[in-house]
Structure 1
Amino acid sequence: MLNTATTQQATTRFRNICIFGAGAIGGALAARFAASPALAGSTISAIARGAHLRAIRENGLHLHAPGKTEPLIAKFAATDTVADLPPQDLVIVTLKGHQLSAASADIARLLKRDGRVVMIQNGIPWWYFHGDTASGLEGRQIEALDPGGLIWQRIGPERVIGGVIYQGAQMIEPGHIRLTSTGLLHLGEPSGTLPPALTEIADLFKASGWTIKPTDRIRDELWLKLLGNAALNPISALTRARINEIVDGPLESLVRTIMIETKTVAERLGCHVNSTIDQRLEHTRTLGGAKTSMLQDLEQGRSMEIMPLTRAITQLARMADVPTPTNDMLLLLISQLDQSMAQARADTA
C-alpha cells in the first residue's frame, strides 16, 4: 500500500477520495482537494501516468492559478496501479470518453460497495439515458460510447453523478498545471434527483475552492457545452486553427450550422438548451486564441475524443429522427484523420 498521509480531522463520510486521471483538470482537482483544510481527515489520492506521475511523487503537483504569483504545491498519494490504494468512498473520473472502457475495471475495483463516482466529461456520456424520462429512451445504452456495455456493468449508472466543467487548464510540464480561469462545475444525478450525497459532494468541491452549481437537469448542461465542443473541436483538428480563428473568420457559418443541428437533437430528446446560437457564439469568442482539447491531442499524437463529441450526436440524432448532414460529414472527415494518425503512430512504433 502507498503511504497515504491524512490530515487531522474528518469532515465528511467521503474519507477516501481518488481522482482517476490527474491530467490538467484532474490534477487541478487533486491539488485543491489535497490542500483544502476543510477535507481534514480525508485521504486524497490520484491515478497518473509516466513523467507526470514521477514529478508528482518527487516534488508534488504545482498548480498555477490566475492572479497568483506563486503556485500551490500539493502533496498527495499518486500511483498508476489501483491495487496500491484502499477502497474509495468517492472516485472522481476526469478521463476522456474514449478512455473509459479500458479503465472501467480499475475504476470499479477502486469503489467501495456504497461508493459514488463523479464523471466529469465533455460530450455525451455512457450513462446518458439512465433515469432519463424526458426522451422516451430511458435505460437505452449507446454501444459506440460503451462497447459491450462494460462500463455500465462494471461501474453502474446508479452510482454516477454527472459533471460538466468550464475550466481552462493546461499541463505546461510534468507536475505543473496552469489554470486560465476561475472555473465552474455543474453536478447532477442522471435521475434528476438532488439527494444528500450530491449536496455533500458539491460541498466538498466548494470547500476546496471550486464554484459549484448542483442541478436537477444535468443533461441540459451537457448539451449546452456540447454546442461549442461539437463544432470547435473537430474543425480545429481538421484545420489546425485556434478558436478565435474559427469563429472570427469564414468558418463561423459552419460552426453555426453544426450548433443548430446539435441543439435540434437536444430539444427533440427533451432537453432545454438555455442559450441561443448567437449567445453561444459570443461566449465562444471570449475564449480567444485557445486551442481545443482535440487539437492538443492531435498535436501530441494522441487519439482524439471523437465518440462523445461527434459520433454520439449522429447516433442520438438517428434515435430522435433528426437529420444532421453537417455533423455526419464532419464525423467522416475527423474519423479519417484519426485513422491516418493512428496508422502513422503504428508505422513509427
Structure 2
Amino acid sequence: MENAKQFRNICIFGAGAIGGALAARLASSPMLKGATVTAIARGAHLKAIREHGLSLYEPGKTEPLVATFAATDTAAELGPQDLVIVTLKGHQVTSASEDIAGLLKPDSRVVMIQNGIPWWYFHGDKASGLEGRQVEALDPDGLVWQRIGPERVIGGVIYQGAQMLEPGHIRLTSGGLLHLGEPSGAMSAELGEIANLLEASGWTIKTTDRIRNEIWLKFLGNAAFNPISALTRGRITEIMDGPAVDLVKQVMTEVRDVAGRLGCPVSETVEQKMEHGRTLGNAKTSMLQDLEQGRPMEITPLTRAITLLGRMANVPTPANDILLALISQLDETMAKARATEA
C-alpha cells in the first residue's frame, strides 16, 4: 500500500505503556515489512527491549505479542524520520522538543497523543476567535512551537487502558480507540494514510475534522478525576461514592462551559460523563500514579489549562482555580521531598 512506502522511518518518542504498545504493534505489522520502527525509551525498560524485545499482552489473547525493534535513549543517534509519534505527557514535551526537532525533515509529520490541552491547541482553530494564539504556560517561551512547528502536528486522543507490568512487558486492559485529526480540520491524505497504517497494526482508529471536540470530551473526565484523585489518594470508584462527587460535577460543568464558549460543544452531558466515570471502577488516574511514584504531576495540561482558557473565554472557573492551588501546593511539597532525598 502507498502509505507503507511513504512512512518508511517511524519513531515512537516515549515508549512507556501506550508508546511501547504502539511500537510493538507497528514493528509487527506486515504492512510495515522492510520499514524501520524505533522507540525512544530509557533505563531498565530500554535494556529489556534491546535484550528480549517487548512483550505486549493484549485483551482476549493467551500469548503475548513479542516484538523486536530498535530502541535508544539518544534521539541524536537516529536519522531523519518520516513520522514521529509522541506519547509523552504534556509537561514532558518542552524538555524533549529539541530532540524531537532533530528527527524532523521538511515533510515529516508528528502525531501528538496527549491528555489535556496541548501546546498547539489554537493553531488552525477557526471556532474560538483565538486562532494562532500561543499559551505560555503550555509552551514556555514558545520553544515547542518553534522547534516542532504546529503545522506538522496531527492531534491524537486515545482511550486505552495500559499498564507497565515490568520492564519490557506491557498489558493492554481494554480494546482501545484512537482519534486522529488535523488541527485545521482538513481531512488530509496524510491523515488518512497514518490512520490506515495504525489501523492495520491493530488499533481502532477514527479520523475527525473536529479533533478539539474529542480533546474536550476526554478532558471533561481528566480535569476532574486526576487532581481530585491525587489530593484524596482515591481511585475513581471511591471518588464517585465519596464526598468529593459534588466537586467532580462542578469541575466538569466549568470545563464544559469553557469548551462551549470556545466553539467546541461537548457531546456528553456532565451527568453522562460522571456515569461513564463509574464504569472505570477501581482505576488509578495517571496523576495519582505519578504522585505515588514520586514523579512530577501533569498539572498544566490537566488543571492549569482550564483556568487559563476560562479567562480567555470569560468563563469563571472557581472550582478548578481551587484545585489548581491545592494540587500545585502538593506538587511543590513533593518536589521538596525529592530534593531532600537526593
State the TM-score bracket (shorter-chain normalisation): over 0.9
Q: CA deviation at 1:10?
A: 8.4
- Residue of structure 2 in register with 1:82 after alignment: 75
- Residue of structure 1 in register with 2:197 after alignment: 204
Q: What one-letter code is carried by the residue in structure 2 that aligns with 1:255?
A: V
Describe the superposition over 1:117-137 as per-residue Cα deviations: whole angstroms up to 9, x where unpaired. Answer: 000000000000000011010
Q: CA deviation at 1:47?
A: 0.2
Q: CA deviation at 1:279?
A: 1.0
- Residue of structure 2 in register with 1:64 after alignment: 57
- Unaligned runs of at least 5 residues, structure 2: none
Q: CA deviation at 1:172?
A: 1.1
- Residue of structure 2 in register with 1:23 after alignment: 16
Aligned equivalents of 2:282, 2:204: Cα separation in 1: 24
Describe the superposition over 1:249-297 as per-residue Cα deviations: whole angstroms up to 9, x where unpaired. Answer: 2221111110000000000000021111111111111111010000000
Pairing 1:245-256 to 2, within 5 Å after superposition: 245-256=238-249
1:224 aligns with 2:217: yes
- Residue of structure 1 in register with 2:131 after alignment: 138
- Residue of structure 2 in register with 1:4 after alignment: none
Describe the superposition over 1:59-97 as per-residue Cα deviations: whole angstroms up to 9, x where unpaired. Answer: 101111112211111000000001221110000000000
- Unaligned runs of at least 5 residues, structure 1: 1-8
1:243 aligns with 2:243: no
Given the alignment, which residue of 156, 163, 188 partners 2:181? Answer: 188
Given the alignment, which residue of 140, 146, 160 partners 2:153? Answer: 160
Aligned equivalents of 2:29, 2:299: Cα separation in 1: 35
Find the residue that maps to 2:6 and give its secondary structure: coil
Give the total of aligned pairs: 341
Aligned equivalents of 1:206, 1:198: Cα separation in 2: 12
1:110 aligns with 2:107: no
Q: CA deviation at 1:11?
A: 2.8
Aligned equivalents of 2:295, 2:167: Cα separation in 1: 17
Q: What one-letter code is carried by the residue in structure 2 that aligns with 1:235?
A: I
Pairing 1:194-343 to 2, within 5 Å after superposition: 194-343=187-336
Describe the superposition over 1:208-264 as per-residue Cα deviations: whole angstroms up to 9, x where unpaired. Answer: 000000000000000000000000000010111001111122221111110000000
1:53 aligns with 2:75: no
Q: What one-letter code is carried by the residue in structure 1 that aligns with 2:176?
A: G
Find the residue that maps to 1:291 and give its secondary structure: coil
Q: What one-letter code is carried by the residue in structure 2 that aligns with 1:59?
A: H
1:40 aligns with 2:33: yes
TM-score of the superposition, structure 1-length normalised?
Answer: 0.96
Q: What one-letter code is carried by the residue in structure 2 that aligns with 1:57?
A: R
CA RMSD, 1 decimal: 1.0
Aligned equivalents of 1:161, 1:11: Cα separation in 2: 18
- Residue of structure 1 in register with 2:337 after alignment: 344
Structure 1 segments (4+ residues) deviating >2 Å: 9-12
Q: What one-letter code is carried by the residue in structure 2 that aligns with 1:273?
A: V
